[in-house]
């Protein structure tokens, strides 16, 4: 039996983004849910390497005040 798998491309790899910057709040908002939670790898479509970097950048951005911890 042959099954077709859906291949997701990493948003960051596809757009050739050199580094994930914690100050780029617009890009980081794209990868958080409506409540401000970090989207899982399956939902965001990011590769493992970039998902780790995204998590670190979102957390750093929250501490610096660019992103909220909780959206009301």
pLDDT, tens digit (0-9, with 9 covering 90-100), for 10-56: 888 888 888 889 999 998 998 899 998 999 988 888 899 999 999 99
Measured distance CA(37)–CA(69) in Å, rounded: 8
> What pLDDT does 45 receive?
86
Beta-carbon contacts of 68 under 8 Å, excluding residues fewer than 6 positions away, are 36, 62
> What pLDDT does 1 receive?
67
Beta-carbon contacts of 23 under 8 Å, excluding residues fewer than 6 positions away, are 61, 64, 66
**Domain 11-64's class?**
few secondary structures
Measured distance CA(20)–CA(18) in Å, rounded: 7
- DSSP-derived 3-state class of residue 38: strand
């Amino acid at each position: 039996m042959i099954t077709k798998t859906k291949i997701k491309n990493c948003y960051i790899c596809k757009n050739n983004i050199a580094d994930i910057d914690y100050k780029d709040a617009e890009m980081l908002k794209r990868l958080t849910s409506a409540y401000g939670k970090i989207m899982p790898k399956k939902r965001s479509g990011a590769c493992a390497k970039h998902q780790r970097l995204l998590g670190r950048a979102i957390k750093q951005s929250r501490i610096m005040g660019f992103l909220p911890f909780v959206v009301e």
